[in-house]
Each structure stands twice: as C-alpha cells, then as structure tokens.
C-alpha cells in the first residue's frame, strides 16, 4: 500500500484490494495491508450503547452547568482543591500499557 | 463559492458544482446577489389599508383596514404580461404593472373586531406548519382608577377584553378564540406572546400569570398550563384542601416561591465559611427580600419545549416601552420539574457571555422551520460579530453596554424578516435606515443602498422610500417609513406615512 497511507494495519486483509498503486513497479505483496486485531478491550463501546442527539441545546446545557456550580456548596478546602483539576484529565495507565 | 459574479456563469457552475456537505443552501443563496429588486413603481394604486407583513413562508400578505376592524389577506404573485413579436428588455412595462392586483391577489376580508373592539395592528404571529395566523383584538385601555381585582397587581393598566383569534389563512375561517377579561397583555410588536412550534405562551401582566397554550392541528387553542400563582396543575387543589390560611395572610405566588428558594440556596452556598453563612445570607438575601418579592414578570419566551426564560423587573418598567436600563433579572424555569434553573441580573457578565456566544438559541424555533435558520445574527455571522465587538469597545462603561444588550432578551418572536437581502453574508446596508427588524423608521431622502459584500464598490440595488420627485412639500414634513420584504421573492413594499397626508406605498421588484 505504501505511499500516503503509510504502513498502517487494517482489520481485514481483504480491504484495499481494489487499490492500484500509482507506481507500477510496486511489489504485489505490499498491496495486502498488515492485519491487526486488538488484544485489549479498552476501545470496545459499552454494551447497549445508543447514540442520540442531546435533547437540551447548548445554551440550556450552559445554564444547567452554571446552576450546578452555583448550587454546589463551597467548602473551605476550595483553595486546595483547585490545584487538583489540572491533573484530573490524566488517567493512570493500565498494566498493559504498551498496547 | 461561485467563481464568477455573472448570473449565466453561475447557473452553468451550479450544474457541475458540488457544494461542501451541508452548505448547498448557503451557496445557492448567493444567487440573490444577481436577482435584486431593482425597479420601483412609485405610489402604487393600492387599497387604503395598513399592511402588516408578509408571512414567513411568503404565502400571504397581511393587512388591516383603517378602522382596525377587518383583516384583509392577499396572496403575493407576480406580474405576467406578454408582448407581440420581439420583446426588447428596454420595453416599458405595461400599464398593469402599476396596479396592485397584478402583484397581489385578494383572498378574503373578514371582520375580527366587533363594535367597541379594535384589532391590534402590531400583533401578528404566524403558525407555520398549519398556515394559521394569530391576531389580537382589544377594547380600550383603562389606565387610572383601575379597580383592583383578586390577584391583580397594582400599577398595571387594565383592558376590559383582549381576544386572541386563530384564523386559517387559506380561507379566512376563524378557528378558535381565547379571551382575557380585565387583564393586560403587552400586544405591541407581539412582545407579550411567544410561539414555539405549536406552543404559545402569553404573559398576563396584570395577574402575573404565564398561560401556555397549544395550537392543535384542528385549530383549537388548548390551555395546557398556567404558571404564576401555582406551578403544578394540582397545586391549587392541594392548597385549598390542606392549608388553613388565616384571613389576612396569603401564600406567595408559586413562581415567586421557586425563585426565592433558588436565590436562598445560591446565597447560602456562596459562602464557604459555615460560621459566616448566616451573616452573608442576611446581607445578600434578607436585606433585599422585599425587593425580590416585589419583582414582577415582564416578558417570557420558550428556550425549548420545557424551558422558559422569564424576565423579571419592577412594576414601573413592565408596561412602558421606554429604553430604561434599570435593574432587571432573568430566570430560566423548567416547566416539567417546576424548578428555577438559574437566575441572573441584567448586568451579569456571565449572561452577557451567553448572549455573545449563543444568541441564536434565544431565537428559538424548532429545527423544522428552514427560513429561520438563515437570519443573520452576531453568532452566525462574522461581520455582525465585528459590529458588536466594535460597539463593545467604543462603549464607555461595560456594564451599561451589557444592560443595553440585555434589553433584547427575551427575544421577540418572528420579529426578524427572513429575507435574504438582510443576510449579512450577502449584503451590507445601513442598519439605522433599514434592518430585518420590522419597526417604523424615520424616513430619509436618500435612497437606501444595498452593497454586495464580495464586491464592496458595487451597489446591487437601492430602495428609495420617498415619493418620486420628492413630494409636494419638498420633503420637509416628518415621514415615517416601514418596509415589508417578501421572504424569498425580490419584492419589497415600502410604506411611507406623513402626518396629515395620505400614505404612499411603493413597490420594488425585479423587472
């Protein structure tokens, strides 16, 4: 497959079989992409997942979000808690961290 | 993007061009740069009516008789004529081009107001999917010595009877009526009502109630909910059967209770230090308690089918249309859970940031109505945003600027014309002289120019509102103009009213 798509793997070896490379001297073996099957299940969608449009529009979502902030009781530890948020987006890696 | 400005070249391009996904309508609207109302018929001979507007789907032209009692509806069509042999473009238009009925076909005239009632000329809402029109008639307004009724607040005038009429515009049948007695609804420019899909909310200022009505396909106006003294449907029943209300005391109205409890919880949670909370509450809440209790509902709009945005203010400012920038408040109310979601003052910077970023969502219409998606605002158009930011930077005081911008919220439904000639991505125009909002303006002698955005030196068309030749008095008398743009045809009616002189109606269209 070479060229623009690089050597990225594909799930199904029969994909891209119709693709003819621009370079006529390319070896036929490169026309079949490398096959890859994931061995972890971190990327599988949760069962019974249904994707729908959020019924509240963005303006209402903003109102609700601000309202939650206003009504959440603020404690004296608020100052120290504010140091945490910048790290909360990072999650610890699992044991199989090199996949 | 079309490569050429020429109409023929654009038509050929359209045959082969595939616009980017989702932008085909945006691209084809550029044809309006080529098709403009370039020709004017001055002082067209038309019936003496006060024309209100074209409906947003372009099917009807609404007018009222001079005595404010009859509704007159026309269907906009187009001039047809033929000529023998070769028809050079420079040929003059036939005499029938000067006739009103070449462009408008009279559909019906019905009488809406009985003897002592008058149609409110400013009020009109169009129910798009069913082609119904909502009109209002009222008796005279009583300002002084208003007899206080049970539940009515002081300081608001009273009208003996206000009736809302639902008319099927295809044939003029009055389908349903809803009357309010000894009440007051702000009918000017349809501010007291808001239409969202098939839901209508009417704000009764005198009784401080928001009536939610549903317009059924059969043409019935059904009252779904009444918010104000009570929030849930069975509140009244519950209170009457359980509460022993001693004479002289009364409960606060339901909506006021929800509002005060929200403000209480917010103020309570603002103070982190537990020991200071009571002090903070005293200062921020109890000190202003009576002011909060005295607030009245000014205006309301739907944000979606379950949420209302309600504007609260003092009794003085509710009725007057002046541009007073006093204190007012916004509350978002969820009709299903009967909770107040949020509460802001009109000078709030947070509320202003929503206004700046999400203004299109205040102009809330269901996603099914296509024409409303293309109304230019500072949220969907970079030129309008630049204009807003310019005003922001030039204004002396930021909080005054914020208060001024907040006067446009809640949005007044159907107040912007969907005509593509007001689209800021296509044309530039002086918005002090003309704009999408249908209001009367002081007339100017000079023609109003519409300049193409992409070709800044080219004036695409002009609208000269005056009488041809300047008029008999040389243009000294004060004139007021209003403009009615058809939503999609290059057809504009400009109406000029001069004190003590007959009204002049000009027709601008593409030859």
- B36-94 pLDDT, tens per residue? 988 888 888 888 899 999 998 899 999 999 989 999 999 998 888 777 777 776 677 78
Q: What is the pLDDT of residues B418-444, one digit of tens each?
A: 899 998 888 988 888 888 887 888 877
From the list B269, B272, B303, which residue is nearest A59 (CB)? B303
- pLDDT at res. B474: 54
Q: What mean pLDDT is reported for chain A? A: 70
Interfacial residues of A (vs B; Cβ cutoff 8 Å): 55-60, 62-64, 66-67, 70-76, 78
Q: How much of chain B exceeds pLDDT 70, in percent?
A: 92
Residue A26 has pLDDT above 70, yes or no: no
Q: Identify from B258, B272, B337, B366 which residue to disrupt to test chain A contact, counting A C-beta atoms within 10 A and taking the largest count.
A: B272
Whether A67 sits inside 8 A of B350 (CB atoms) is no
Q: Could you give the strand order of the β-sheet that contains B296-302, starting from the edge strand earlier in sequence? A: B296-302, B307-313, B328-334, B339-345
Instruction: Tell which of A53, A59, A74 to mutate to test the B interface (max B CBs under 10 Å).
Output: A59
B209/B266 Cα distance (integer angstroms): 25
pLDDT level of residue B385 (50, 70, 90 thresholds): very high
Output the CA–CA distances (angstroms, integers) from residue B80 to A95, B87, B93, in the order listed.
80, 14, 10
CB contact under 8 A, B272 and A70: no
Span B383-387, mean pLDDT?
91
Mean pLDDT of chain B: 86
Note whether B304 contacts A60, CB cutoff 8 Å: yes
Structural tokens at position B423: 């689209």
**What is the Cα–Cα distance from B8 to B406, expressed in whole angstroms?**
45
- pLDDT tens figures, A47-81: 888 888 888 889 999 999 999 988 887 765 544 44
Closest C-alpha among A39, A33, A32 to residue A8: A33
pLDDT score at B475: 54
Q: Does residue B150 register a pLDDT over 50?
A: yes
A16-20, B289-293, B480-484, B488-492: lowest mean pLDDT where? A16-20
What is the C-alpha separation between B236 and B225, in angstroms, rounded?
A: 13
Average pLDDT, integer, range B233-262 = 79
Quick check: B246 pLDDT over 90? no
Tell me what pLDDT residue A95 has.
47
pLDDT band at B334 (very low <50, low <70, confident <90, very high): very high
H or E stretch covering B211: strand B209-215
- B307: which chain A residues are within 8 Å (Cβ-Cβ)? 60
Residue in B269, B270, B304 nearest the CB of A57? B304
Lowest mean pLDDT segment, chosen from A16-30, B41-55, B377-391? A16-30
Return the pLDDT at B46: 85
Q: Which of B3-17, B175-189, B317-331 has the lowest mean pLDDT?
A: B317-331
Say yes or no for a CB contact (<8 Å) between B304 and A78.
no
Rounded to whole angstroms, how far apart are CA atoms B174 and B165? 7
pLDDT given at position B342? 93
């Amino acid at each position: 497959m070479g060229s623009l798509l690089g050597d990225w793997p594909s799930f199904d070896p029969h994909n891209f079989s119709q693709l003819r490379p621009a370079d006529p001297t390319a070896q036929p073996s490169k026309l079949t992409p490398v096959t890859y099957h994931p061995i972890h299940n971190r990327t599988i969608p949760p069962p019974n997942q249904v994707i729908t449009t959020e019924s509240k529009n963005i303006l209402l979502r903003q109102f609700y979000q601000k309202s939650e902030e206003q009504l959440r009781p603020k404690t004296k530890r608020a100052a120290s808690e504010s140091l945490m948020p910048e790290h909360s987006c990072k999650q610890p890696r699992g044991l199989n961290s090199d996949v | 993007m079309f490569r050429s400005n020429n109409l023929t070249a654009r038509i050929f391009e359209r045959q082969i061009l595939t616009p980017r996904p989702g932008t085909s309508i945006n691209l084809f609207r550029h044809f309006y740069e080529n098709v403009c109302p370039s020709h004017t018929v001055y002082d067209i001979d038309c019936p003496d009516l006060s024309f209100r507007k074209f409906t947003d789907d372009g099917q009807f032209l609404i007018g009222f008789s001079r005595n404010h009692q009859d509704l007159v509806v026309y269907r906009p069509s187009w001039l047809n004529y033929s000529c023998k042999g070769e028809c050079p473009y420079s040929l003059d238009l036939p005499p029938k081009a000067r006739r009103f009925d070449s462009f408008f076909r009279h559909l019906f005239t019905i009488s809406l107001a009985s003897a002592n009632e008058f149609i409110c000329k400013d009020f009109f809402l169009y129910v798009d999917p069913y082609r119904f029109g909502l009109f209002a008639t009222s008796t005279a307004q009583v300002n002084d010595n208003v007899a206080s009724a049970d539940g009515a607040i002081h300081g608001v005038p009273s009208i003996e009877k206000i009736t809302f009429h639902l008319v099927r515009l295809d044939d003029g049948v009055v389908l349903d009526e809803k009357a309010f007695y000894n009440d007051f609804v702000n009918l000017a420019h349809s501010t007291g009502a808001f239409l969202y899909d098939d839901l209508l909310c009417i704000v009764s200022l005198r009784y401080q109630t928001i009536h939610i009505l549903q317009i059924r396909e059969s043409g019935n106006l059904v009252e779904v909910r009444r918010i104000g003294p009570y929030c849930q449907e069975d509140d009244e029943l519950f209170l009457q059967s359980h509460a022993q209300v001693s004479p002289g005391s009364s409960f606060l109205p339901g909506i006021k209770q929800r509002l005060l409890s929200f403000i209480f919880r917010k103020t309570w949670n603002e103070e982190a230090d537990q020991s200071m909370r009571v002090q903070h509450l005293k200062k921020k809440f109890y000190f202003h308690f009576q002011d909060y209790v005295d607030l009245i509902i000014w205006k309301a709009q739907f944000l979606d089918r379950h949420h209302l945005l309600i504007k609260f203010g003092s009794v003085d400012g509710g009725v007057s249309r002046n541009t007073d920038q006093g204190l007012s408040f916004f509350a978002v109310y969820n009709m299903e859970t009967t909770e107040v979601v949020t509460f802001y003052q009109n000078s709030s910077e947070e509320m202003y940031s929503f206004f700046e970023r999400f203004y299109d969502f205040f102009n809330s219409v269901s996603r099914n109505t296509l024409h409303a998606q293309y109304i230019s605002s500072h949220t969907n158009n970079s030129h309008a945003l630049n204009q807003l930011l310019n005003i922001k930077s030039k204004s002396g005081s930021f909080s005054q600027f914020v208060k001024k911008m907040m006067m446009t919220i809640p949005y007044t439904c159907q107040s912007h014309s969907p005509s593509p000639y007001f689209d800021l991505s296509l044309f530039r125009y002086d918005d002090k002289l003309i704009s999408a909002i249908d209001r009367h303006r002081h007339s100017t002698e000079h023609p109003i120019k519409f300049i193409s955005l992409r070709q800044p030196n080219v004036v695409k068309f002009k609208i000269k509102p005056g009488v041809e030749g300047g008029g008999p008095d040389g243009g000294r008398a004060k004139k007021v103009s209003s403009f009615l743009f058809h939503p999609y045809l290059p057809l504009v009616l400009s109406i000029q009213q001069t004190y003590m002189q007959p009204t002049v109606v000009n027709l601008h269209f593409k030859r």
